[in-house]
Chain A
Amino acid sequence: MANLKILLISPGGAFLSRNDEFRTYMEGSREMKTILHYWNGLGAALPTVAGLTPDRHIVSICDENYETIDFSAPVDLVGLTGMTQQAPRAYEIADEFRRRGVYVAMGGIHATVLPVEALEHVDTVLTGEAENTWPQFLADFEGGKPLHRYDQKNYPDINLSTIPLPRYDLVAANNYPVVWVQATRGCPLDCDFCAATRIYGAAYRHKDADQVAREIVEVKKIWKHAQVGFADDNMFVNKKWVHNLLDQFEDIPFTWYAQSDISLAEHPDLLTRLHRNGLRILFVGFESVNHENLATINQNQWKARRLERYPESIAAIQGAGIGVYGSFIVGMEEDTTTVFDEIADFSNANSIMGTQVTILTPFPGSVLRNRLEEARRIVSSDWRLYTAWNCVITHPHLSAQEMEEGLLRIYRSVYSEEQLRSRAAYFKNAFRQLVGG
């Protein structure tokens, strides 16, 4: 079989809390819409998989958050991806295509950590990174003998510098405010609530600097004014490579967002260079302002050891003209009813540009889930609730209602009119210092 017609689908996702008051607040708040704006951009997965597909096939991408799926489309093969909260919708889509006689394969983080569950709805599951498994699956499918499972663990390690250019052109019609590009994979911190290392491993790897630059040029050619976000969990681990990357960025007029751990604050010269070359917002996972909580996240207490220096680190990054978007989690072991005020006060006192707070969620594949399962503390495995804005666990000191309502209280505080004005003044002042005013 040649010239396969392949439809790759990113299922629609819920990004809202089940709490009615919270939903009403989100829908009416400009700042909360900004959070949705950041996280509703195009993910890197399907353009990457499309890029791995041999040219002789006809491949298209449907992002259900932007388009309606045409179930009657004449396709030979459907490929699905999805995070945990998208899994129920992915399964509905798979069931419908299979009912119509279309072969369905699924990859992505959820299928990687729960392949047996996924196989109840799809014909083939691809676990881990796709660079080896997807081409092999396609070859087997063409030969009429596709397997039910393809696991990256059974293939050679992937060299990121050989990955073809992702097919951003296939989703050019969607008006994305943010396009997420992948430059690195892996994170050395291996936090217990994070399942990402199950798909990428802990080893930090990166694409070549000029390869990333070519992707940026392609993205900006298609979406002139979209922001570029780097989807990498911890982008600046290899400082020499980052400097090479910034050499490439000198000549590309764009601004961008990235994710990093807080240790970037210890490199003032690099911060200056990052700002000069377009980095505007840095997402940082603070997780908690409680030392005991942080001590449980990493075996080597990486985050706990930096807690005392959080304020000076934030000041260093923001003083370089880069806004910190801080991520916090409520529902960690030591949290009590004071946690909501503690996080809001910390965010406000440090004039953090943006604050995202979520509820501790035992994502499948995480060490946290194993721990909470053993303690019988998981009250729901309805994946639709796994947005990290709903409480699906029991907690020694906090009820689900307290956590969901407390979350809203934090947002109302950090995005109050008073705090918005205060932060605007803080940043104008910071930039005055930078421009020498």
Chain B
Amino acid sequence: MDNPSREKIESVVSRISRIPKSEFADDVLIREELGIDSLMAMEIVATLEREFSIEIDETEMFDIQTVGEFSQFVEARIRKSHG
């Protein structure tokens, strides 16, 4: 993987959900297919905020469906925060 942010995001998600990174294809559904519920999502958000020194509005997570959408969402926050 040549995207260091993406790799770090996936590492955090993998550590909290205890799901191997190899399962994180872009079109995989976070809740239905990976079983990541709203509680785990908040733990992931709080950890990513710390890892990347960013601020994420937790309610924006409500509408995110897939791994790809989530990664893009966090990457956009990182770009916005760090220019």
| A interface residues with partner B (beta carbon < 8 Å) | 34, 177, 224-227, 253-255, 278, 280-281, 321, 323, 353, 420-421, 424-425, 427-432, 434-437
Contacts and interface: CB of A to CB of B under 8 A. Distances in A.
Q: Size band of the B side of the interface?
A: 20 to 34
A437 B61 CA distance: 19
A232 to B, nearest CB: 20
Contact of A253 (B19, B32, B43, B62): B19
A280 B45 contact: no
B39 A353 contact: yes
A143 to B, nearest CB: 46
A434 B46 contact: yes
6 contacts: A255-B40, A321-B43, A427-B43, A428-B49, A432-B49, A437-B49
Given A225-B33, A435-B47, A437-B50, A278 B18 contact: yes
Contacts of A227: 35
Interface centre among A177, A225, A432 (most CB of B within 10 A): A225
A226 B37 CA distance: 12
A414 B43 CA distance: 21
A430 B42 CA distance: 9
Interface string B11-22: 000000111100
Given A424-B59, A431-B47, A255 B17 contact: yes
Contact of A432 (B18, B38, B46, B62): B46
A60 B83 CA distance: 60
A424 B58 contact: yes
A225 B35 contact: yes
Contacts of A431: 42-43, 45-47
A420 B35 CA distance: 19
Interface in B31-83: 32-35, 37-40, 42-43, 45-47, 49-50, 58-59, 61-62
Contacts of B19: 225, 253
Contacts of B37: 34, 280-281
B55 to A, nearest CB: 10
Contact of A255 (B35, B45, B46, B59): B35
Contacts of B39: 280-281, 323, 353, 427
Q: Is the interface of A mostly helix, strand, loop or mixed?
A: mixed
Nearest to B44: A431
Nearest to A225: B35
Contacts of A253: 18-20
A113 to B, nearest CB: 34
Contacts of A278: 18
A387 B58 CA distance: 35
Contacts of A421: 59
A254 B20 CA distance: 10
Given A353-B39, A424-B61, A432 B34 contact: no
A429 B46 CA distance: 7
Minimum-distance CB pairs A-B, first 4: A431-B46, A427-B42, A437-B50, A253-B18
A432 B59 contact: no
Contacts of A427: 39, 42-43, 58
A431 B38 CA distance: 13
A424 B42 contact: yes
B35 A226 contact: yes
Contacts of A224: 23
A228 B18 CA distance: 13
Given A254-B18, A255-B17, A428 B46 contact: yes
A322 to B, nearest CB: 8
Nearest to B17: A255
A432 to B, nearest CB: 5
A321 B20 CA distance: 21
A299 to B, nearest CB: 35
Contacts of A255: 17-18, 35, 40
